[in-house]
Structure formats: C-alpha cells, structure tokens
Structure 1
C-alpha cells in the first residue's frame, strides 16, 4: 500500500473520484505522462497549442482537478498545464521530495523539460504556491510571472486551528466536515461540492505534515518577475497580514491583496489572476 493513503481501498476510491472529475472536465484536454526523477508525473493540458504556456500547481490534499471550475476561462488565453504534484492524491507518483532542499525544483525541471518549456508563467495555491515560489527563487530565468493563492513560505504558519480540530476528536465528537470547513473557510452553500471533495479525500489520504520552509527576505528580494499574491483575511493556516506585508516590502515587483471574509481556500479570483498574467 502506498504510504500516502490510509488503505488500498481508500486509494482506489480517490482514484475513482479523480477519474470521474476528469470525465466531467469542461473542455477538451490531454492527459500527459512525464517521466521525472521522482517518478511519473501526470499533467492535464488544455487550451490552444499556440497560446502562451501557464503551469498550474494545486495545493496539498488535492490534484489537477482543483482547477476545473476556472479552467474554461483560463484556457481562453493560455495553453494551461495542470500538474498533478507528486506525493499528492492524484495520478502522479507518491514520492515526496524534501522541501528543505533543491529536490522539488529538480522535479519541476523535469516536468518543464518534458513539456518542452524553457520559460512559463505559473499559478500556485497553498503548497503549490510554495512550490512555484521556491522554483522562481531557484530558477528566476524560467518563470515569467507568478500568481500565488494563499501561498505557504511567506507568512507565519499557524497551528492554532489544529487545537480546534483535534479537541472535538479527543472528546469523541470527530467531525471531518466541520474540520475541513474550519481549515478551508468554505461555508457558502454553492461551495458544498468543493467541501465534499475535501472531506472525501482526507477520509483516505495522509497529507504532508512538516512545516513549510519560510523564504528569507534576501530570497524574496531576488525575484525579478512580477508577483501577485492573494490571501484571505480569515486564513487559519498562514498569517495573511504578514504574508501581504512581506510581499509588498520585500518583493521588488510584488503586489498583495488581502481578501475580506475569505479563508485559506481563495476562490472566485480567476479574473483578477488573468488580468495580472496578461498585463
């Protein structure tokens, strides 16, 4: 059994749901399989082949289908490559390269080489935001623009939410849906299907639990490309105010927006992101 799943049956259930979402993908797409030093990496590609490239990196406990709600809009302007990050509940290898090393960037080197890219814009959310930022710092000539949604590695990582999530469990009132809503900030009725997916995944999946490395002021100041960061003011995972402050103070071409009444899951921002990417 893969170490990233609790049971083999759970792994099969996640794969089944993933395939179900792919069948409902709203526009024509290709499923690409790219060999990398961390194992096979799956990429869902769509949009005009002659359009500018855009790499999409999802968050922890997710996969490429995290972009399905926005992909129709994105693919009007870009050749979009939604990457299934390794070690996450998608179709890529279960390998988890060390975050405190160059291993993640080397994996992305292989992905981009397999896609035939020398430079691209990137959009990343949460762990995917950390991954895109790490890559831009290590490979600044390969990233033209960077849009980050609730990224890790800039503001302080919070753990107070864990007490709120764990205490009911210790008292015999474990409610995975309540905990998922607490972490993501998703509560609106129209977002219920998204929350359903989160609950279904974490019923069977074991996420990475290590603290994300925080980028230094010097590393942030070294970024030459335009950077857009969007965070929610109710994010229980990362300190949004600190994230926004460091982006504005340290990244030469950095812009940050703190979104009111929004948690860790930054949703409904595709138009703002596309305006930035196409500027």
Structure 2
C-alpha cells in the first residue's frame, strides 16, 4: 500500500471512505475482481446483462466513484463496467504498467478477457483517456466507440501548474485544496473536498504522458468523441481539439469554454454517442 500512498494510515482512510461510497452506489452492481498480469483489478458491473458493454476508465487520483453521477443513466441501456485502474487509489493492485509500452494494453486484454468481453465501447478521462486511446490504437478490433474526456497524449502537457501545486502543498491542507481547485477547475463542494483529501495521502504518477503520433491517430477507424475544457490547466485543450479534428477520421470534438481539466455533466451527450444517436 505504501507504494502509492504517503502512509499506510492515509491509504487505509481513503479506502475506507471509498468502500463506504460503494455501499451507497446509486444502482445495483456486482463487485468483480479480475486477475491480471498487473495484479487483481476491481470492476463495478451494472446494467442489463444483454445490453451493449461499456468500459469506464477514470483519471489519475480517482477510482470508479468518478462515474457516480453517470452510472444510473448509463446502466439503463448499457452493461457498464467501471474499472479501478491499477496503481490508483481504488481497490485494484498498486502496480503501474509503463506508459508508452504494450503493458497497459496487455493489462486491459486481461481485464476484458476476465469480464468475458470480446470488445466494448470505452469512456476514459485524463489518464484513463490516454489508456483508452492507446488501447484503440493497439487493439482496434476490441474498441467499438471511444469517448474521451480531457484525454492526455494529444495536446501539449503543461508544466506551470506543477510548480504552483508544489508550492501550495508546502503550506499544508489548505494549500492542497487550493492546488486541487487550481488544477481541476472545480468549484467548492464535495467533489473538490474528496479530491483534496485524496491528494493529501496519495502519490500520483508523475511521468509525462507519451504523445500519440499523427499516423496512429489517422489509423483509427472507430468513432471518437472528445470533450475538453478550454480552461484546462494541465493540457492544451485547443491543441487537443485541433489534432483530433485534423487526424482522427471519424471524430467529434466539443470544446467547453468555461470548463477546466475536470469535465462534469456530460452524462447525456456521452450516452447518445455510445448509443450511436
């Protein structure tokens, strides 16, 4: 546990809160533990068994709870598989497959195989968006549709926020909260409170996300929806939007003018895209 948390006690507290949240999950869900080459992977599965499958991949510093406001709507027409990424503050193994290699795709192969899915639509946010896009590039036959929220690996990864975040965190809990607000663009409220608590105890991945070459993007045949915030402090959203429009053949790009890195309130647009409406 100490590999990804600043202390054993901090890790236990975050996981205790996460389990409490799962007890109040808004829809009935199976708690599935899938063995993979990176260690056990936890997945929340909900929705009709015969519905089209959707796999959800959250961002860094998060877990399946990221989709709490979406899952009730999506579970009405899809079989939803909300995955806890390995190496993040959820119930999956602490392993961190090396980005830019085939390790993340091999891990996802194991997850899909363990869930009995030959293919699925994917929704990914930030780091989860990078992993989903990497999987679509490497395994095009296993990705039906691809919905991406503020994905990494497309636009320039900014660095100014990191210096500011480090300085703010040096002044204690209040600084961590201000740092989380600055990076995500979130307003005061429970979501920001939870994120600030997470980063008091969690050690995020710090490597830069590999950038996808134009050729890889041009080779994508699956429909792609990309939603980004114009005020993203971490990623160049306008650069992301431009590259997707120029390079991805079957793509739709939505640039939200007032949003930051945290993209919320996209339940219905994503549902429509996943259903092909």
Range into which the TM-score falls when normalised by the shorter chain: over 0.9
C-alpha contact 2:34 2:41 (8 A) present in aligned 1: yes
Asked whether 1:267 is paired with 2:269, we answer no
State the Cα deviation string for residues 144-190 of structure 1 (Å, max 9, x = none): 00000000000010011123223345678961111100011001x5x
Q: Determine the structure 2 residue equivalent to 1:277.
A: 274
Distance in 1 (alpha carbons) for counterparts of 2:61 and 2:179? 14
State the Cα deviation string for residues 90-111 of structure 1 (Å, max 9, x = none): 0000000000200000000000
Distance in 1 (alpha carbons) for counterparts of 2:203 and 2:173? 20
Distance in 2 (alpha carbons) for counterparts of 1:93 and 1:172? 29
Structure 2 stretches of 5 or more lacking a match?
none
Asked whether 1:203 is paired with 2:212, we answer no
Q: Structure 2 vs 1, CA of residues 180 and 173 (structure 1 numbering), >3 Å: closer, same or farther?
A: closer
Distance in 1 (alpha carbons) for counterparts of 2:169 and 2:181? 15
Q: Determine the structure 2 residue equivalent to 1:79.
A: 79
Shift of 1:255: 1.2
Q: Determine the structure 2 residue equivalent to 1:214.
A: 211
Distance in 2 (alpha carbons) for counterparts of 1:87 and 1:21? 20
State the Cα deviation string for residues 236-273 of structure 1 (Å, max 9, x = none): 01000000000000001011111011000000011111
Q: Determine the structure 1 residue equivalent to 2:97.
A: 97
C-alpha contact 1:2 1:94 (8 A) present in aligned 2: no
Number of equivalences: 276
What's the TM-score once normalised by structure 2's chain length? 0.97
Q: Structure 2 vs 1, CA of residues 240 and 28 (structure 1 numbering), >3 Å: closer, same or farther?
A: same
What's the TM-score once normalised by structure 1's chain length? 0.96
C-alpha contact 1:248 1:254 (8 A) present in aligned 2: yes
Distance in 2 (alpha carbons) for counterparts of 1:206 and 1:96? 12
Q: Determine the structure 1 residue equivalent to 2:227.
A: 230
State the Cα deviation string for residues 33-61 of structure 1 (Å, max 9, x = none): 00000000000000111110000000000
Structure 1 stretches of 5 or more lacking a match?
none
Distance in 1 (alpha carbons) for counterparts of 2:243 and 2:227? 13
